[in-house]
Amino acid sequence: MKKLLLFILIAAVYVLHQDYWNWKNAGLVFGFLPVGLAYHAAYSILATLMMAVLVKCAWPEHLEQTEPEDDDKKKGGK
């Protein structure tokens, strides 16, 4: 279930990246910021949050495990 929800989150963020609905909008946000640029600023924050959720929920634990070093390698021996 968790994998399905993460997949839906990724797909939703991917679809939101295709902002064709802002291409012809000449409006300004806060009086100086074009709508498309404001949208992408907000999208960047959303993508950052999505990546944080992915790292928290789907990080592969096996990559964090390290093997103990041999005593010969520590001493620089052969």
What would the pLDDT profile of 22-74 be if each residue is shown by its tens digit? 888 888 999 999 999 999 999 999 999 999 999 999 888 888 888 777 766 66
CA atoms of 59 and 76, how far apart (whole Å): 34
Decide if pLDDT at 12 tops 90.
yes
Decide if pLDDT at 21 tops 60.
yes
Nearest to 23 by CA among 35, 41, 13: 35
Decide if pLDDT at 76 tops 70.
no
The pTM for the full model equals 0.70
pLDDT at 77: 55
pLDDT at 75: 64
